[in-house]
Structure 1
């Protein structure tokens, strides 16, 4: 089955969720948070969303519930930020310029993962044509150990995102599909998987994590930046990520096996569990 079939199913199901807007999202921005990631074979996602329907609301921007994102990641010439992740350094950074295409907003974003496992994100609005403006340069120097002349753009990441908010607790869920990486004169696509991220103030119970466990989906995923670097630079060292990369490949194989064994068009209730 072509992944596009499941994307259409996902669009139908997301249309059933109660919507919220960007202003309503302000109360759950979670710029200082803990988060966990999951890799999902795309054929399981429609049924998972059906089960989450009474538990979450979905962000809608200008009539769209699958929002288009474009990110440009920056690193040193020696890929110091990537290697800090690869080596498991406790305090590490990501630097990106992200454009939210549906809302026409763009931000320079600095993400700092501290040695207590918390993710702290800070950002400043700006134009894609002005990286790095004096204001953005000052922001970079204030919020990270890097200066504009230390870093260069090295990876483009494009995808579609669904953003959900828990109805009863301060929790956000993002699910990214149609991942595309551009770097090192290469383009690599991952249409057969989705990457989900659960974001909370403090790690606690979560209805979506309970659903993931029901489908035997286990916590663990490579960050999109690191996955993009590994995918577009095949010779780069990625020892610490090997088990996670193998898990990603197993998830893709799970999708392939499912499509081989299901040549008919299934109803969502007939999707097999992982």
Structure 2
């Protein structure tokens, strides 16, 4: 974590994971995302610390997440987002590396444009989808849209990043702060520059206390800021990404090199054979 951010974060009161889940799970919410450089984030912290607590586990306030995203052969999930379709979803396996557990997560949009997230805890981290997982995905899709997903999906990209979570002292609102994003797939890897943060506010109406504080310091939402979609564009996995260009430019993704992933010895020997 940026040392300046860590210092500013030390002024916050702590909240435990159990307390967070009890008051601010926010599995149905309106989201707003902001891309903010470190100096402006630190300035906003002075106001946040009076109204928000920070998640702390075993003395840590920043946690590493690893996420594997799934899509079909035509990248339909991606293109549904790119075209701005109201009926759309994402499927991912998120692993909380510090805590050592994983969830299959299905994110959908309802008719109110509210994000609905359904989760299935996995017995152990998976690199694919089991029969149980596929049935869970179909049920989530059917419950929301009236039909099963009815398409074959497979892993397309993975990403890793550090996350800080703030929880409102009053009410169920919370905010996540992500940094040091690294996207990769079987061929390439690309990371975002340090000192840039993606803030995501999560509230019942999409205009919570965090949004008001950010507006007061002249920070405004960044549209089309899906980490999955930016990752697909960053790795060259899709040709069309103009809808996400403003967010990609603010995060300076394309200023960073696209690096070919090297094969480990076992993979190299398999290819040689």
Q: TM-score, normalised by structure 1?
A: 0.82
2:135 is equivalent to residue 128 of structure 1: no
Aligned length: 244
| 1:20 corresponding residue in structure 2 | 15
Matches within 5 A, 1:198-217: 198-206=201-209, 208-217=210-219
Alignment check: 8 A CA contact 1:165 1:173 kept:
yes
Deviation for aligned residue 1:204: 3.1
Deviation for aligned residue 1:92: 0.6
| 1:259 corresponding residue in structure 2 | none
User: 2: CA distance between counterparts of 1:67 and 1:160?
Assistant: 5
Per-residue Cα deviation, 1:55-79 (whole angstroms, up to 9, x for no partner): 1001112221101100000000110
What is the SS of the residue equivalent to 2:239? coil
Cα distance change of structure 1 residues 140 and 36 upon mapping to structure 2, 3 Å threshold: same
Unpaired segments of 5 or more residues in structure 2? 142-147, 256-273
Unpaired segments of 5 or more residues in structure 1? 253-274
Per-residue Cα deviation, 1:107-153 (whole angstroms, up to 9, x for no partner): 00000022421000001011223732232222122113436x70110
Alignment check: 8 A CA contact 2:106 2:137 kept:
yes
Matches within 5 A, 1:1-274: 7-26=2-21, 27-126=23-122, 127-129=124-126, 131-144=128-141, 145-146=148-149, 150-183=152-185, 185-190=187-192, 191-206=194-209, 208-221=210-223, 222-233=225-236, 236-249=239-252
Q: TM-score, normalised by structure 2?
A: 0.83
Runs of 4+, deviation exceeding 3 Å: 242-250
Per-residue Cα deviation, 1:150-206 (whole angstroms, up to 9, x for no partner): 011011111000001111222101000111111251111112410000001123341
Which protein is richer in helix relative to its size?
A: 1
